[in-house]
């Protein structure tokens, strides 16, 4: 009993002192008091000295709370608050002290009433089993009589950073407000869930990487908003809620990671800006390393780091999108992405400033981040739809190109010899290497009963346009087939038939007419490399004639020259891709005629196919890759008739 009197005496003294240092809240039956943080005083004793008896000691230091909210993100131990009430109503009335926070906190309220201490505890601020639906709300009844003055002591303990809005309601209207919020956020998360499923559907059906990353990013955004709105309280896994304390910061880190990955994928940063991509990857790796740091650092610090760093990827993504927007102002998806990042940044900034008491009303803090995220999700979805439309156009264009390529490849096959290894008993060899799937070189062999013609052509350019010109040239070769022994006449007629279709292209060609009975060779050269005669001793000689390439701008002016047909040796026709092959170590060093002649001399006694193979092998060795900068074609014929 003695100690009780001492305690009451100390309490009376503390009450008297407190009225001198803190403003009293004057209550009335018809008024609510929202965000009463500025009326509060706080004390931060150590956990060992944080009992009610310790707090009531006269030497306890109380400090005026500087803002309209309770915000102690770095404090680990329990915090005590006190405030003073005065009720001047006409009849007894019950008010309600309400704490609003989406995190899991423990609240205790104490006050002295009719000679004894009344203590109330809220338990965890989560949905309680076997209790009313809104049992998670931290609200304490305050029955007051007219003219009564009372000091309220509140103890808050939390594994999370401590933050709360504190209000006094004159009725239970906060329940109705909580219900409206829950309905609103239920609709919000329902819409988010539908968008979640839709993004998963698009990711699965389109197999588009950006949709997969959008899906994961959207998942983490919804997870963070479950915490920021307090809706996480309705999710129960097991009897403990401690896992929520860990999931919240991990969710923030995952949001940062998937947000950055989605940014570089959506804006195609890796291809267009590789340096920015490297910096982004460094951020991603840093956030990945932060996730397991939970095993080594205290939970509160872990949460504080996550909350502090979440702004970094938002600003970084916003900066990247703004840079891409400046560089590509015509791309509407860049605008949508920029405004999406801006919306979530604005929402987060307003939320943070409201929590710190800079902006009012404080009730908007509950909505700014979810609404900013909703706008972000909507704009990103629109941006992805634009991407889908572009993707479909690209796919349609690719399908059209594929169809053209198939047609051109068919034309290309028709331009090349089909398993012809001899003509009138003369053995043939052939090799062809295009720079792309479709080349501009082609070979034609026209065979008659007692003679034959060899035609080698090189169309300027590569790909489909060159193949189309080559195909038209092949059709025109029918003119030569009708006048095989007159290659000079044929080349003039072929040029005339191609004039309207060259479209800026030109072609060089070599026409070779061989008549074994007459033992003659006729050669017409239209701007092409000369044909080489290689005897079996390794000696070489050029069989050529003067002439210009076939073009629409310059007249042909070709000559037809006749040579005796040797009994032995080989004739070699080739395009400039052989001579112009480059050594990668010496950009000005070409394979050239000298190297070609050396290879031919080394293979003077070889059959035509071996000659062609060895020439191409030496070209590959010289340029160190099996890919040419220009189409390579080489044709060889042995002059020993019926040779085995």
Identify the CA nearest to 355 among candidates 69, 33, 64: 69
Q: For residue 513, what are the CA distances in angstroms to 373, 457, 530, 543, 560? A: 77, 15, 14, 12, 10
Q: Note whether 104 and 159 are within 8 A (CB).
A: yes
143-179 burial code (b ≥16 CB/10 A, e <16): ebeeeeebbbbbbbebbbbbbbbbbbbbeeebbeebe
pLDDT above 60: residue 88:
yes
Burial class (CB in 10 A: 0-12, 13-18, 19+), 32: middle
Q: Which two tokens stand for residue 360?
A: 């009012």
Q: Which two tokens stand for residue 459?
A: 């169309």
How crowded is residue 224: how many other Cβ atoms within 10 Å of its Cβ? 19
CA angle 335, 341, 343 (to 5 degrees): 100
What pLDDT band is residue 13 in, cutting at 50, 70 and 90?
very low
How far apart are the two ends of the chain, measured CA to CA in Å? 128
What 3-state class would DSSP assign to 431? strand
What pLDDT band is residue 600 in, cutting at 50, 70 and 90?
very high
Residue 355: predicted pLDDT? 62
Please give the Cα distance from 166 to 162 (Å, whole number): 12
Residue 366: predicted pLDDT? 67
pLDDT above 90: residue 563:
yes
Residues of the chain with pLDDT > 70, as a percent, come to 84
What 3-state class would DSSP assign to 532? strand
Residue 115: predicted pLDDT? 85
In terms of average pLDDT, the best of 116-125, 399-408, 425-434 is: 425-434
Alpha-carbon Rg for the chain in angstroms: 44
Mean pLDDT of 494-519: 85
Residue 463: predicted pLDDT? 67
What pLDDT band is residue 131 in, cutting at 50, 70 and 90?
very low
pLDDT above 80: residue 110:
yes
pLDDT digit string (tens) for 406-429? 766 666 666 666 667 889 889 999
Query: Per DSSP, what are the bridge partners of residue 111?
Result: 118
Q: Residue 24: what are its φ and ψ, rounded to 5°?
A: -90, 140
Q: For residue 285, what are the CA distances in angstroms to 54, 262, 314, 388? A: 47, 15, 16, 29
Q: Note whether 137 and 98 are within 8 A (CB).
A: yes
578-591 burial code (b ≥16 CB/10 A, e <16): bbebbeeeeeeebb
What 3-state class would DSSP assign to 607? coil
Q: Which long-range contacts (CB under 8 A, 24 or more apart) does 315-319 make?
A: 315/345, 316/260, 316/280, 316/283, 317/259, 317/260, 317/263, 317/341, 318/342, 318/345
Give residue 94's Cα distance to chain centre.
Answer: 57
More confident residue, 446 or 128: 446
Using CA atoms in the order 195, 198, 203, 205, what is the torsion angle rounded to 10 degrees?
A: -170
Average pLDDT of the chain is 81
Q: What is the DSSP letter of 552?
A: S
Identify the CA nearest to 382 among candidates 199, 213, 217: 199
What 3-state class would DSSP assign to 53? helix
pLDDT above 80: residue 520:
yes
> pTM of the predicted model, to two decimals?
0.57
Residue 80: predicted pLDDT? 93
Quickly tell me which residue has 């989560």 as its tokens: 126
Please give the Cα distance from 224 to 248 (Å, whole number): 7
Residue 418: predicted pLDDT? 65
Residue 8: predicted pLDDT? 44
Mean pLDDT of 277-305: 87
Using CA atoms in the order 379, 385, 391, 395, what is the torsion angle rounded to 10 degrees?
A: 180
Is the peptide bond prior to 420 cis by the omega test (within 30 degrees of 0)?
Answer: no
Identify the CA nearest to 524 among candidates 498, 479, 561: 561
pLDDT above 80: residue 22:
no
Please state whether beta strands 24-27 and 79-87 pair in parallel, antiparallel, or not at all (unpaired). Answer: parallel
Residue 499: predicted pLDDT? 80
Q: Note whether 641 and 424 are within 8 A (CB).
A: yes
94-103, 179-188, 426-435, 616-625: which range is least confident on average?
A: 179-188
Q: Which two tokens stand for residue 637?
A: 């014929």
Q: Note whether 547 and 556 are within 8 A (CB).
A: yes
Please give the Cα distance from 514 to 521 (Å, whole number): 5
Domains, in order of start, for the chain: 2-171 (2.60.40.2380), 178-231+254-283+311-394 (no CATH), 417-638 (3.60.40.10)
């Amino acid at each position: 009993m003695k100690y009780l009197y001492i305690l009451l005496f100390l309490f009376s003294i503390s009450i008297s002192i407190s009225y001198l240092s803190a403003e009293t809240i004057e209550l009335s039956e018809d008024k609510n008091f929202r965000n009463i943080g500025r009326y509060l005083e706080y004390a931060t004793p150590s956990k060992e000295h944080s009992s009610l008896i310790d707090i009531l000691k006269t030497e306890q230091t109380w400090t005026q709370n500087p803002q309209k909210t309770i915000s102690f993100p770095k404090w680990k131990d329990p915090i005590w608050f006190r405030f003073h009430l005065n009720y001047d109503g006409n009849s007894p009335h019950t008010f309600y002290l309400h704490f609003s926070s989406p995190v899991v906190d423990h609240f205790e309220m104490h006050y002295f009433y009719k000679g004894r201490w009344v203590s109330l505890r809220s338990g965890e601020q989560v949905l309680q089993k076997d209790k009313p639906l809104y049992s998670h709300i931290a609200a304490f009844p305050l029955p007051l009589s007219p003219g009564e003055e009372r000091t309220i002591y509140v103890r808050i303990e939390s594994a999370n950073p401590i933050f709360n809005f504190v209000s006094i309601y004159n009725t239970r209207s906060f329940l109705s407000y909580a219900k409206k919020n829950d309905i609103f956020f239920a609709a919000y998360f329902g819409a988010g869930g539908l968008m979640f499923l839709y993004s998963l559907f698009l990711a699965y059906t389109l197999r588009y990487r950006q949709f997969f990353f959008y899906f994961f990013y959207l998942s983490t955004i919804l997870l963070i908003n479950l915490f920021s709105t307090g809706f996480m309280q309705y999710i129960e896994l097991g009897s403990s809620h401690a896992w929520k304390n860990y999931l919240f910061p991990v969710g923030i880190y995952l949001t940062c990671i998937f947000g950055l990955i989605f940014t570089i994928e959506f804006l195609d940063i890796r291809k267009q800006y590789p340096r920015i991509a490297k910096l982004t990857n460094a951020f991603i790796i840093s956030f990945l390393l932060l996730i397991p740091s939970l095993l080594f650092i205290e939970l509160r610090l872990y949460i504080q780091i996550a909350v502090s760093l979440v702004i970094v990827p938002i600003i970084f993504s916003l900066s990247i999108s703004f840079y891409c927007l400046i560089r590509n102002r015509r791309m509407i998806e860049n605008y949508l992405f920029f405004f999406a990042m801006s919306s979530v940044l604005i929402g987060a900034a307003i939320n943070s400033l409201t929590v710190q008491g800079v902006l009012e009303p404080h009730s908007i803090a509950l909505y700014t981040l979810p609404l900013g995220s909703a706008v972000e999700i909507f704009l990103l979805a629109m941006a992805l739809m634009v991407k889908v439309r572009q993707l479909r156009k690209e796919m349609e264009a690719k399908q059209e190109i594929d169809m053209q390529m198939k047609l051109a490849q068919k034309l290309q096959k028709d331009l090349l010899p089909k398993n012809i290894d001899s003509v009138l008993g003369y053995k043939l060899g052939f090799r062809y290497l295009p720079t792309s799937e479709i080349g501009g070189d082609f070979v034609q062999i026209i065979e008659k009963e007692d003679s034959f013609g060899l035609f080698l052509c090189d169309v300027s350019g590569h790909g489909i346009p060159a193949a189309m010109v080559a195909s038209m040239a092949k059709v025109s070769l029918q003119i030569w087939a009708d006048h095989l022994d007159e290659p000079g006449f044929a080349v003039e007629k072929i040029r005339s038939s191609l004039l309207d279709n060259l479209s800026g292209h030109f072609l060089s060609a070599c026409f070779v007419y061989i008549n074994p009975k007459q033992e003659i060779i006729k050669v017409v050269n239209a701007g092409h490399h000369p044909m080489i005669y290689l005897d079996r001793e390794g000696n070489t000689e050029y069989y050529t004639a003067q002439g210009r390439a076939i073009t629409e701008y310059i007249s042909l002016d070709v000559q037809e020259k006749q040579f005796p047909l040797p009994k032995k040796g080989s004739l070699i026709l080739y395009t400039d891709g052989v001579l112009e092959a480059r050594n990668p170590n010496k950009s000005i060093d070409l394979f050239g005629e000298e190297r070609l002649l050396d290879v031919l001399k080394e293979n003077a006694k070889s059959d035509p196919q071996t000659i062609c193979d060895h020439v191409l092998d030496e070209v590959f060795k010289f340029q160190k890759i099996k890919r040419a900068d220009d189409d390579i074609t080489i044709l060889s014929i042995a002059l020993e008739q019926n040779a085995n």
